[in-house]
Chains A and B, each alone.
Chain A
Amino acid sequence: ETGVTQSPTHLIKTRGQQVTLRCSSQSGHNTVSWYQQALGQGPQFIFQYYREEENGRGNFPPRFSGLQFPNYSSELNVNALELDDSALYLCAISQGIEHGYTFGSGTRLTVV
């Protein structure tokens, strides 16, 4: 039990559609970040939220967007889905770099 819950666990969408992935945690944390992990690859940083504001972003286009809420939950939204968006999407929480990041089990997104 990681303490970080992601939903749904699996999802199939059609190219061009929009998707919202969710992440929640019972523990207090000030930072949440999202990662995309393609099959056989390491996770790639999408963006990070600190106290409900985006404070870092990786090399992903604006159609990847997010939100962090006061109740420690977070969303990742992807518009205009492309086939290459098929991946495992991971959410991670942290109370600071020195504490490391705790990951959820991920959402497996398949775009057809």
Chain B
Amino acid sequence: GNSVTQMEGPVTLSEEAFLTINCTYTATGYPSLFWYVQYPGEGLQLLLKATKADDKGSNKGFEATYRKETTSFHLEKGSVQVSDSAVYFCALSDLVSGGGADGLTFGKGTHLIIQP
């Protein structure tokens, strides 16, 4: 079955530091990959996505590249801000044969804390 593994937190950085959150996946087909962000007490917001190998998703200074050879989708940002403090989830979506759906498979989440 499908699975997503991401680095566990909390990850604590100083403002303006470089961020990397690792994510690797296992899938039976050719999944689409996503990063979602969850702020305290809220639902999930789509941060970025990539639907095929070598695609780069980007949004709000965050980037992630779909690497099929290493089955990875690491999240990066060059200079983090205090407002980036949240929980980040890596996820994949893969259509099963026959047209059914497994929905999104999520990692356990990485709690990011940015200190001023």
Contact = CB atoms under 8 A, between A and B. Distances in A.
| A and B associate in one complex | yes
B77 interface: no
Nearest to B101: A56
Contacts of B44: 43, 90, 92, 103
B32 A2 contact: no
Interface string B20-54: 00000000000010101000001111100101000
A97 B32 contact: yes
Interface residues of B, number: 27
B104 A43 contact: yes
B108 interface: yes
A100 B101 contact: no
A82 to B, nearest CB: 22
A41 interface: yes
Interface of A: 2, 4, 6, 31, 33, 35, 40-48, 50, 55-56, 58, 90, 92, 97-98, 100-106
Given A42-B108, A48-B101, A56-B102, 4 more contacts: A56-B96, A90-B43, A98-B51, A101-B46
26 contacts: A2-B43, A6-B43, A33-B104, A41-B109, A42-B4, A42-B106, A45-B104, A46-B103, A47-B103, A56-B96, A58-B103, A90-B44, A92-B44, A97-B51, A98-B51, A100-B32, A100-B34, A101-B34, A101-B46, A101-B93, A101-B104, A103-B43, A103-B44, A103-B46, A106-B42, A106-B43
